[in-house]
Amino acid sequence: MDEPIIVGIDIGTSKICTLVARVEEEKHLRILGVGIEPSQGLRKGTVVDLNAAALAVSRSIDKAERTSGFEINAALVSLAGSHVSSMNSRGVVGITGGIVDQDDIERALDAAQAVAIPHNREIIHVIQRGFIIDGQDGIRTPIGMHGYRLEVEAHIITASASTVENLRQCVGASGIEVTQFVLNPLASGEVVLSETERQMGVAVVDIGGGTTDMAIYIDGDVWHTMVLAVGGNHVTSDIAHGLRLPISQAEEVKLKFGYALQSGINPEEQFTVRSFGGDSPERINRADLVNIIEARMEEIFYLVLQEIRRSGYDGLLPAGVVLTGGPRIPIFFISRSSLMI
Ligand SMILES: Nc1ncnc2c1ncn2[C@@H]1O[C@H](COP(=O)(O)OP(=O)(O)OP(=O)(O)O)[C@@H](O)[C@H]1O
Ligand SMILES: [Mg+2]
């Protein structure tokens, strides 16, 4: 019973998911409770209506408390949105006593963070990518090694301070303290990627409702992260416009008849819907629906590919791209598929 309990809240644009888990043995998690609720008051990863968002979060928390039987006081909370940005930085320090210890590493990481970060940005993660001792690079665990000069290569992720504060307040309204914010693509990467993929070089792309998040892993570590303000909701609104349907119906049609490739469907196929206030059902060519979906998905993948190229790591991803996100199912049934670029 004294094993630690971890609570995670994923505040998405489509759904809010609270998970209560017990840490068993070595890093093994047992899910004790889940609370999934439709999201409100959020757009593209940021809070646009504090009260509505806080209410949706509290519903999800209540559900997780009821299913797990635990009272939640603190949680890890997901973060996404185009207000997140990342950069690589290097910190250099002299090694005290000639042998690297934890204190040297912390000083090097502090030095890496000493870059000019505007006061309206908050540091979310400082990820150590690798160390260099006296010019020798590729060092993973420097503790105990001899040398004079220690350099750390760090990946620093920052977010808009006000957006982060709004999220904190949103969760705080339920009496919950945020122990740490976790960037969405990092959380996805931890869950869906294998250690081998992370070592080989891989990109994980999480296509959500309002955002598409990406993280690039090389040599086992995160080298690049980004959040695009486009996702499945854009597909739905394209369908609503293109086929002149209410959003809720466009979403239903997407899930029921949607496909992302023209070449994969029978061009003769049709389905029926009831349009705006209409009494009689209307027949729609499935090819028209798929055309709309294909165009938007092509755009999303194009933006992802452009970002991979811009990162400069496009030649370093032999494990390809792993896709996740979407279906409204608890996180332990992970949806995942991979493709090569
Ligand atoms: N079976 C499916 N096929 C295609 N799209 C789906 C399917 N199920 C859900 N989706 C779409 O996935 C999107 C929601 O994804 P997800 O639940 O990962 O979003 P989120 O985490 O709430 O949002 P975000 O991460 O953008 O803040 C919606 O646009 C939904 O229509
Ligand atoms: Mg999400």
Are 149 and 199 in a shared domain? no
User: What's the CATH code of the domain at 114?
Assistant: 3.30.1490.110
Q: Which positions ≥6 away from 18 have C-beta within 8 Å?
A: 7, 8, 9, 10, 33, 34, 35, 36, 60, 61, 63, 64, 72, 75
Name the closest-CA residue to atom 5, ligand 1: 326
326 lines ligand 1 (CB under 6 A): yes
Instruction: Name the domain boundary from 139, 159, 179.
Output: 159
Mean pLDDT score, 274-288: 82
Q: Is residue 16 part of a domain?
A: no
45 lines ligand 1 (CB under 6 A): yes
Are 270 and 142 in a shared domain? no
Are 269 and 326 in a shared domain? yes
Q: Among 9, 10, 13, name the best residue to mutate to test ligand 1's pocket (greatest count of ligand atoms within 8 A of Cβ).
A: 13
14 lines ligand 1 (CB under 6 A): yes
Q: Is residue 67 part of a domain?
A: no
For position 198, what pLDDT does the model report?
A: 94
Cross-strand bridge partners of residue 28:
24
Q: Which atom of ligand 1 is nearest to the CA of 14?
A: 22
For position 115, what pLDDT does the model report?
A: 82
Q: Is residue 141 part of a domain?
A: yes
Q: Which atom of ligand 1 is nearest to the CA of 212?
A: 26
80 falls in which pLDDT band (50, 70, 90)?
confident
Lowest mean pLDDT among 99-108, 253-262, 269-278: 269-278
State the distance from the centre of ligand 1 to the C-alpha of 324, rounded, in angstroms. Answer: 9
Tens-digit pLDDT profile for residues 18-65: 999 999 887 788 999 999 999 999 987 789 999 999 999 999 999 999
DSSP string over 295-314: HHHHHHHHHHHHHHHHHT-G
Phi, psi values for residue 188, rounded to 5°: -60, -45
124 falls in which pLDDT band (50, 70, 90)?
very high
State the distance from the centre of ligand 1 to the C-alpha of 327, rounded, in angstroms. Answer: 6
Are 341 and 213 in a shared domain? yes
Q: Is residue 299 part of a domain?
A: yes
Q: Report the sign of the C-alpha dihedral through residues 191, 197, 198, 201, in that order.
A: negative
State the chain's mean pLDDT as an integer.
Answer: 90
Q: Is residue 171 classed as helix, strand or coil in its secondary structure?
A: helix
Question: Cα separation of 204 and 320, whole Å?
Answer: 9
Residue 328 has pLDDT above 60, yes or no: no
Q: Which atom of ligand 1 is nearest to the CA of 325?
A: 18
Name the closest-CA residue to atom 10, ligand 1: 326
Lowest mean pLDDT among 230-244, 270-284, 300-314: 270-284
117: containing domain: 85-159
12 lines ligand 1 (CB under 6 A): yes
Are 341 and 197 in a shared domain? yes
Residue 112 has pLDDT above 70, yes or no: yes
What percent helix, strand, coil does the chain show, rounded to 5? 35, 35, 30
- pTM of this structure: 0.85
Tens-digit pLDDT profile for residues 282-326: 899 999 999 999 999 999 999 999 999 999 998 999 999 999 987
Q: Is residue 3 part of a domain?
A: no
Tens-digit pLDDT profile for residues 157-171: 999 999 999 999 999
Instruction: Name the domain boundary from 159, 181, 216.
Output: 159
Q: Is residue 55 part of a domain?
A: no
Q: Is residue 132 part of a domain?
A: yes
Q: Which atom of ligand 1 is nearest to the CA of 251?
A: 31
Tens-digit pLDDT profile for residues 160-211: 999 999 999 999 999 999 999 999 889 999 889 999 999 999 999 999 998 8
Are 211 and 121 in a shared domain? no
Are 219 and 336 in a shared domain? yes
Are 136 and 235 in a shared domain? no
Name the closest-CA residue to atom 1, ligand 1: 327
State the distance from the centre of ligand 2 to the C-alpha of 190, rounded, in angstroms. Answer: 14
Are 110 and 220 in a shared domain? no
State the distance from the centre of ligand 1 to the C-alpha of 231, rounded, in angstroms. Answer: 8
Residue 71 has pLDDT above 90, yes or no: yes
Are 101 and 217 in a shared domain? no
Q: Is residue 330 part of a domain?
A: yes
Quote the number of domains for the chain: 2
User: What's the CATH code of the domain at 273?
Assistant: 3.30.420.40
For position 330, what pLDDT does the model report?
A: 41
Are 214 and 328 in a shared domain? yes
Q: Which of 130, 167, 166, 136 is nearest to 149 (CA)?
A: 136
Structural element, H or E, at residue 53: helix 50-68
With beta carbons less than 8 A apart as the criterion, state whether 60 and 9 touch: yes
Q: Among 14, 15, 167, 228, name the best residue to mutate to test ligand 1's pocket (greatest count of ligand atoms within 8 A of Cβ).
A: 14
Are 253 and 330 in a shared domain? yes
Instruction: Name the domain boundary from 103, 135, 159.
Output: 159
